Amino acid sequence: MLNYLWGFMIVIGIVVGVLTGRISEVSTATINSSKEAISLCITMLGFMSLWTGIMNVARSAGIIGALTKALKPILRLLFPDIPKDHVVNEYIASNMIANILGLGWAATPMGLKAMKELKTLNKNSDLASVDMCTFLIINISSLQLIPVNIIAYRSQYGSVNPTEILGPAIIATCFSTLVGVLFSIIARRSCKK
Amino acid sequence: MKFLLYISDYIMPFVLFYVVGFGLLMKVNIYDDFVKGAEDGLKVVVGIIPTLVGLMVAIGILRASGALDWLSNLIMPVTDMLHFPSQLVPLVTIKMFSSSAATSLVLDIFKEYGPDSYIGRLTSIMMSCTETIFYTMSVYFLTAGVKKTRYTLAGALVATFAGVIASVIIVGFM
């Protein structure tokens, strides 16, 4: 996917640059953009490592474990057909909590394990189960407490108050997830009929 | 909406206070754990440097050549009708496919309009409530070996657009 996306962006950009006579700007942009990528990463190093450090403390203090447990009753509502003590509940809960806390790279391995278990529950069919659909729709609707990256980018580009978007962002992310949940519940019902 | 901004100021300090305070109560080695976790964060950022260099250069070329402005002028009649800034259409579209490509567009928008402008705030909120639909779906379903994905895409699109609409409404109050 990125092969084409990246390739076309560069090829089209350069062709348009020649046509509009802005090739010298294009030339400068290539050098400046690569420099900018590095200075951005330096800003991100600070906030990102602060966040992962704090989340590691949260993990060893048992906060993340407690949150995962607290999610269980909600999982019963979303996935009524999964056996109550099945290990997949664990995977789904950890995936969701990691996503909510902005630990995307920690969320994916758990999510993939959950998918494999859901596949076994689905008798290895190559048709997605209702539970898989619900799980992915909620995953993609992206419930996130603190958008760690966005805050780092905002401060890099001189925002007066990088965290001012936190409250509004929480409302928006709750709303999109709520819509995803409602969609899944309605779709599940109409599948059963 | 003052209240929301007030809450925003409290979230980060509160999370820090809660986690560190709770860690102290539970008598865990908070400092060692923090340092170890922070090291993981460093590795993640260093790992994305090559991707970010490649994509930011590509977006930089598109911006400097005028291709991005040309594209947003092209779709402006439609987006004006929907009261949505045309500059953000490429962003919403790319975000469905690639998170790192979306990141470089976000940075381009922050540079052009500033993170505290209407467009900058809308971008920030929108990016906090959307996910890379096609990428996530392909990774998860490929791993599970599932070919027919049923209504997953429809549900993901509905949730994403709900997020975009919510962002536009909320940013109007800021």
User: Which among B5, B132, B144 has the least Cβ separation from residue A116?
Assistant: B144
Percent of chain A with pLDDT over 90: 63
Whether residue B72 contacts residue B87, with contact meaning beta carbons closer than 8 Å, is answered with: yes
Report angle CA A8, A13, A17 to the nearest 5 degrees: 155
Residue of chain B whose Cα is closest to the Cα of A55:
B37
The 10s digit of each residue's pLDDT in A168-187 is: 999 999 999 999 999 999 99
User: Which among A14, A139, A171 has the least Cβ separation from residue B170?
Assistant: A171
Residue B161: HSE in the Cβ half-sphere, 13 Å Cα cutoff: 7
* DSSP-based three-state secondary structure for A27: helix
DSSP character string of B2-66 = HHHHHHHHHHHHHHHHHHHHHHHHTT--HHHHHHHHHHHHHHHHHHHHHHHHHHHHHHHHHHHHT
Report ipTM (2 d.p.): 0.85
Percent of chain A with pLDDT over 70: 98
The 10s digit of each residue's pLDDT in B33-77 is: 999 999 988 988 888 888 889 888 998 998 899 888 888 888 888
Alpha carbon of B91: minimum distance to chain A alpha carbons (Å): 13
pLDDT of residue A1: 62
Confidence label for B98 from pLDDT (cuts 50, 70 and 90): confident
Q: Give the tokens for residue B52.
A: 């970010």
Return residues 62-121 of B near A (CB < 8 Å): 62-67, 70, 94, 97-98, 101, 103, 106-107, 110-111, 114-116, 120-121
pLDDT of residue A40: 84
The 10s digit of each residue's pLDDT in A126-147 is: 899 999 999 999 999 988 888 8
The 10s digit of each residue's pLDDT in B115-129 is: 999 999 999 999 998
Asked whether the beta carbons of residue B65 and residue A48 sit closer than 8 angstroms, the reply is no
Mean pLDDT (chain A) is: 90
pLDDT of residue A193: 62
Helix B2-25 × helix A63-78 angle, to 10°: 120
Asked whether the beta carbons of residue B4 and residue A171 sit closer than 8 angstroms, the reply is yes
Please give the Cα distance from A67 to A1 (Å, whole number): 36
Single pTM value for the model: 0.86
- What are the domain boundaries of chain A? 29-192
